[in-house]
Structure 1
Amino acid sequence: MIVLLAKRLAAVVLILLALTAVLFGLQQLSTTDPVRTMLGANASQELVAEKRAELGLDDPMAAQYFRYVGNLVQGDLGDSYRTRRAVSEDIGAFLPATLELAVYGLLLAVGLGVLFAVATTLRWPGARLFRAVLMTGAAMPSFLLALGGIIVFYKTLGWLPATGRTSIDDAPDGPTGLLTLDALLTARPDVLGDALLHLLLPALAIAIGPAVAIGRVLHSSLVTTLRTDYTRTARAKGLTDFQVMRKHVLRNSVGPALSMTGLQVGLMFAGVLVVELIFSWPGLGQYTAQSIPVDDFAAIAGVMLVLGVAYVLINTLVDLLQAAADPRIEA
């Protein structure tokens, strides 16, 4: 396990360096002049030249890149041209909302995927209907699923809210920024219940597609494992199908599903940024959408870097979970 961890951490460093190189290259290829954006279109040539020299934009490309990486290591993502604040400060304010939505979406995707796989494998009553509903939802893009959810569950039925994180005015805003966790820490069950209701529609919108992908892979793996000799022996001992599934099959089948979960995280992040706009969710999606029209490249690159780091770390965690589930995995 230690050797595997060392290899994965080395791979993480290399991937992140490649990601920073791509972001830096895109910034250099951009037709937007960051100094003009920062100072305004009416700034004099002398002032622009002075600011470029101050920011080191006239230095050789290699020197600019190493300075860029050095700043990133220190947590400096640059300054936003739009908000005039440090990008790291802006991301720190918007990230908790996105993180909370992504975490609940991932939990829903894994939970629905496991239920989908187990129900269809053991042929539970209603499994076909459940499968049909999930497959129909997965056939639609996340933004269309979000709009459909608003029309049905907010506009028509009035069961769920459609915008924001909470409708309670005095909801806690700390210490973590994760509203459901802060509600627990401050003993506010009213805020917790309201926050969960606000999370349900956007989390489902980003979870259903990954849930089907995870569930189909897990179902295939479960069917294969159920045909092995040791599961037949377990049945011969009098164990029920559910007991065989729980004690002998599930752990030996999760490897491929974990790999699929890691792959789906990237698609989920893309869905989160779009779904946030539809539900007026105050996260990185809103921040990015506000930064794009004004060519705030520092803010956009900062968000992409944070999401890239999260994706790489989650896939590294998935690799370690696979090794824990199957000790035969060593590389």
Structure 2
Amino acid sequence: MVRFIINRVGSLIGVLIVLSIVVFVVQRISGADPVRSYLGANSSAAAVERMREHLGLDQPLFKQYLDYVWNALHGNLGLSLSTQRPVTTELAARVPATFELAIWAITLSVIIAIVLSRLCSVRGWGGGIIRFVFFSAASAPSFLLATAGLLLFFGQLHVLPAQGRTSFPPLTGPTGFYVLDGLLDGDPLYAWDAAQHLFLPALAASIGPGIALARVLADGLDTGAKSGYAKTARSLGETEGAILFRHSLRNASSPAMSFLGVQIGLMLSSLVVVEQIFSWNGLGQYLTAAISVADLASVAAISLILGGAYVLINSIVDILLAVVDPRLRTL
């Protein structure tokens, strides 16, 4: 098991190195001039040249890449052209917002998958209606689900807020996760308000991945229920519930967990759109603003964070799969 973890960590580092190279190269071949964007179109040639020397853009490409990695490892990701502040300062304020939303969306996806995988086994016209409704929702894009959620829960029912992370001034909590910070600060009203603001955007981002995951989980449970060991367990007097949790669920969890890692990557990309709709002050809004002004340093930093998060999550999923299924440790 230790060797398996070491191999996965080595693979993770290798993928991150490749990701950093891709991000660096894309910055250089994009055609946008960060110096001109920072100084302005009317800046003199001498000023532009001095800024290029200051930023190290006059150095050989390989030297620029090494400096880029070295600075990134030391928390220096450059200056944001869209806000005129260090990129790390902007990220410190926005990363917790996106990650809190992502955690809620992932949790809701798992809940939807578990509930729907059981509902899919319902026979008759009732089960058919349930499957039709949920699978139709899975085919809808996240921005459409977000808009429909706003119209229903905010516009018609008036039970959930429409935008932002909270109705109160932000807490200066230790985590930047408003629900958790509210609880740590002893303010349950603040935590409840933050949870209400979280629900709609998290639900919009989680429905598609949750239903897709439910399909995989339902297939695994159905296969497990018809397997030879399930028949043997029934002959020994075990109940269907015991067979489900002792046998079928464990065997169905491996493909479901593997598929969840892929769905998390798709979910991270959909959060960019969801954040725009709900005015969520996270990486999605920051990325949109950075692209509009060719803020390459910010775009590169966000790409590294989201790409690194996706790779890290899939590495964790691989390790968890090896814990569940020891046969995978030999791969």
Question: Into which bin does the TM-score normalised by the smaller protein fall?
Answer: over 0.9
Give the C-alpha shift of residue 202 in structure 1: 0.6
Partner of 1:11: 11
Structure 1 residue 195, shift from structure 2 partner: 1.4
Alignment of 1:92-111 (within 5 A): 92-111=92-111
Question: Cα offset for 1:121?
Answer: 3.4
CA contact (8 A) 2:52 2:58 kept: yes
- Give the counterpart letter for 1:136 in structure 2: S
Within 5 A, what are the aligned runs for 1:254-273?
254-273=253-272
Instruction: Determine the C-alpha separation between the residues in 1 that align with 2:8 and 2:103.
Output: 23
DSSP 3-state at the match of 1:329: helix
User: Equivalences for 1:210-221 in 2 at 5 Å?
Assistant: 210-221=209-220
1:59-106 deviation line (CA, Å, top 9, x unaligned): 111111111122222222111112222111211110111001000000
- The answer to whether residue 67 in structure 2 is matched with residue 67 in structure 1 is yes
Distance, in Å, in 1 between the alignment partners of 2:112 and 2:89 is 35
Deviates most, 285-294 or 267-276:
285-294
| Aligned counterparts of 2:178 and 2:77: Cα–Cα separation in 1 | 26
CA distance in 2, matches of 1:206, 1:123: 29
1 CA distance for matches of 2:162 and 2:134? 21
The amino acid across from 2:37 in the alignment is: T
- In 1, the alpha carbon distance for the partners of 2:160 and 2:132 equals 23
Distance 1:122 1:228 in 2: 19
Distance 1:212 1:325 in 2: 23
Aligned residues between the structures? 330
Residue 2 of structure 2 aligns with which residue?
Answer: 2
- Which consecutive unaligned segments of at least 5 residues does structure 1 have? none
Matched, 1:321 2:320: yes
Q: CA deviation at 1:124?
A: 10
Structure 1 residue ranges, 4+ long, deviating more than 3 angstroms after superposition = 121-130
Q: Distance in 2 between matches of 1:319 and 1:124?
A: 38
TM-score under structure 2 length normalisation: 0.95
Q: For 1:123 and 1:180, locate their aligned partners in 2 and report how far apart those are by CA, in whole Å.
A: 40
Q: Look up the match of 2:82.
A: 82
Deviations 1:208-242 (A, max 9, x none): 11011111111111112222222112222222222
**Aligned residue for 1:236?**
235
Q: Distance in 2 between matches of 1:163 and 1:64?
A: 41
Matches within 5 A, 1:149-168: 149-167=149-167
Contact kept in structure 1, 2:121 and 2:127, CA below 8 Å: no
1:246 aligns with: 245
Inter-CA distance 37–161: structure 2 relative to 1 (3 Å threshold): same
Between stretches 239-248 and 289-298, larger displacement belongs to: 239-248
**Any unmatched runs of 5+ in structure 2?**
none
2:138 equivalent in structure 1:
138
TM-superposed CA distance for 1:171, in Å, is: 5.1
Find the counterpart in structure 1 of residue 45 from structure 2: 45
Q: Which amino acid aligns with 2:183?
A: L
1:126 Cα deviation after fit = 5.3
Which residue of structure 1 aligns with residue 276 of structure 2? 277
Deviations for 1:251-298, whole angstroms, at most 9, x for unmatched residues? 121111111100011110111111000001111111111111111111
User: 1:148 & 1:53 partners in 2: Cα distance?
Assistant: 51
Aligned AA (1:32):
A
State the TM-score, normalizing by the size of structure 1: 0.95
| 1:212–1:201 CA distance, 2 compared to 1 (3 A) | same
**C-alpha distance in structure 2 between counterparts of 1:128 and 1:160, whole Å:** 30
SS in 1 for 2:112: helix
Aligned to 1:176: 175
Partner of 1:56: 56
Aligned counterparts of 2:205 and 2:305: Cα–Cα separation in 1: 19
What code does the residue aligned with 2:202 have? A
Task: Kindly indicate whether the alpha-carbon contact (under 8 Å) linking 1:122 and 1:241 is maintained by their aligned counterparts in 2.
Answer: no
Q: Distance in 2 between matches of 1:188 and 1:125?
A: 46
Alpha-carbon offset, residue 173 of structure 1: 3.2
Report the Cα offset of residue 125 of structure 1. Answer: 10
Q: What is aligned with 2:119? A: 119
> Is structure 2 residue 198 aligned with structure 1 residue 199?
yes
Q: Distance in 2 between the 1:89 and 1:277 partners? A: 21
Matches of 2:217 and 2:76 in 1, distance apart? 41
1:68 maps to amino acid: Y
Contact 1:255 1:325 in 2 (8 A): yes
In 2, Cα distance between the equivalents of 1:44 and 1:27?
23
- Aligned sequence identity (%): 44
Once the two structures are overlaid, the 10-residue window that deviates more, 77-86 or 196-205, is: 77-86
